């Protein structure tokens, strides 16, 4: 069987839905070339008065992550908070890694050498099933690669039933969102059966008012469509919504949809999240940096309400 995909040799391939995927080194990235999407992004930026020559979607690859005031406060009055699931609500990547390791070893992948964390992060974590299959098995028919992924998901679910744990501090953030009455949706590239199982195991099935699955959208993350669909489902504005993510792929999707993203450092390198445009990067939901930003939102909401009375 094949070893790891070779690095380099970047080549563009048309996605067939208004975008271009860059292939090389086993990585993939969606780049929008659709005027409608750019129009949506620019409108949401205009609503927040954030359009400037340094906007990451206009002229540079990443959003500045440092500011005296958190970019989250620009979403006041907040209408909704969106959450990725894998790696954001729960530290599930190690379970996915184990499932992939065991199944790939069983077929002699990489000459029997287990895939490491770096390979997993670059080629699998945060990817759609199609992209992961193409990265892992570039010479296989896509249908065969997707079949392998389906079998791997079955193994993952058995592991999750025994070992899935929430990210530190999650319960406190969930309660904060509930107390404020914000709308909320889970937005994931995971198969729906996985998403629903994880939410059930975490006790969050009733917390979310919508569960958006990337595979059921025009394109999955890193395209913005899953997050744009969440906005539509909840009937809220990008200007008054922010996102919790953990992967560069998901962060790009959120930024492309016109919303600030809080990136949680469960497994992915901080520099990759910065480059993807994260507005705030936190260790977990107990990080003082996060609560400082949420307190800024509370203060701004209180000031807005007092001014309206």
- Using CA atoms, how far apart are residues 57 and 53, in angstroms rounded to an integer? 10
Give the three-class secondary structure for 23: strand
Q: Measuring CA to CA, how many Å separate 104 from each of 5, 91, 96, 234? A: 14, 21, 12, 39
Q: For residue 129, what pLDDT is reported?
A: 87
Q: Which residues contact 142 (CB under 8 A, 6 or more apart)?
A: 130, 133, 134
Q: For residue 126, what pLDDT is reported?
A: 75
pTM over 0.85: no
Q: For residue 293, what pLDDT is reported?
A: 97
Tell me whether residue 91 is one of the annotated catalytic residues: no
Q: For residue 144, what pLDDT is reported?
A: 96
Residues in the chain: 309
Domains and CATH numbers, the chain: 53-91+165-308 (3.40.50.1000), 93-163 (1.10.150)
257 backbone dihedrals φ, ψ, rounded to 5° = -85, 0
Kindly name the residue from 52, 84, 206, 284 that is annotated as catalytic.
84
Q: Measuring CA to CA, how many Å separate 89 from each of 93, 191, 203? A: 11, 16, 11
Kindly name the residue from 52, 55, 86, 117 that is annotated as catalytic.
86
Instruction: Identify the DSSP state of 27.
Output: B
Q: For residue 33, what pLDDT is reported?
A: 41
Instruction: pLDDT tens for the chain, 309 residues: list them.
Output: 434 344 333 333 333 333 433 333 333 334 444 444 444 444 444 443 333 333 333 333 333 333 346 789 999 999 999 999 999 999 998 999 999 999 999 999 999 999 998 899 889 987 888 999 999 999 999 999 999 999 999 999 999 999 999 999 999 999 999 999 999 999 999 999 999 999 999 999 999 999 999 999 999 999 999 999 999 999 999 999 999 999 999 999 999 999 999 999 998 899 999 999 999 999 999 999 999 999 999 999 999 998 865
Tell me whether residue 235 is one of the annotated catalytic residues: no
C-alpha torsion angle, residues 141, 143, 147, 149 (rounded to 10):
80
Q: For residue 239, what pLDDT is reported?
A: 97
């Amino acid at each position: 069987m094949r070893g790891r995909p070779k690095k380099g040799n970047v080549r563009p391939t048309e996605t067939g839905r208004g975008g271009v995927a860059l292939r090389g080194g086993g990585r993939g990235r969606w780049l929008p070339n659709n005027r409608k999407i750019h129009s949506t992004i620019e409108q949401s930026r205009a609503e927040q008065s954030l359009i400037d020559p340094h906007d990451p979607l206009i002229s540079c690859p990443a959003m500045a992550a440092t500011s005296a005031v958190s970019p989250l406060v620009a979403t006041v009055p907040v209408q909704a908070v969106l959450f990725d699931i894998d790696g954001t609500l729960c530290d599930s990547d190690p379970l996915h890694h184990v499932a992939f390791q065991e199944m790939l070893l069983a077929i002699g992948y990489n000459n029997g050498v287990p895939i490491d964390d770096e390979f997993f992060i670059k080629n699998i974590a945060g990817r759609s099933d199609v992209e992961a299959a193409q990265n892992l098995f570039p010479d296989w028919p896509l249908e065969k690669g997707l079949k392998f992924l389906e079998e791997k998901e079955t193994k993952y679910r058995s592991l999750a039933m025994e070992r899935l744990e929430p990210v530190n501090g999650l319960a406190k953030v969930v309660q904060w969102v509930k107390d404020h009455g914000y709308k909320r949706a889970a937005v994931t590239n995971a198969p729906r059966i996985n998403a629903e199982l994880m939410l059930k195991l975490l006790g969050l099935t009733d917390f979310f008012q919508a569960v958006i699955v990337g595979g059921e959208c025009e394109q999955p993350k890193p395209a913005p469509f899953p997050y744009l669909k969440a906005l539509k489902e909840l009937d809220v504005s990008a200007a008054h919504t922010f996102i919790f993510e953990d992967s560069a792929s998901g962060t790009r999707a959120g930024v492309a949809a016109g919303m600030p993203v809080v990136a949680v450092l469960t497994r992915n390198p901080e520099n990759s999240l910065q480059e993807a445009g994260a507005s705030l990067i936190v260790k977990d939901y107990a990080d003082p940096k996060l609560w400082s930003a949420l307190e800024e939102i509370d203060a701004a909401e209180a000031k807005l309400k007092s001014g309206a009375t």
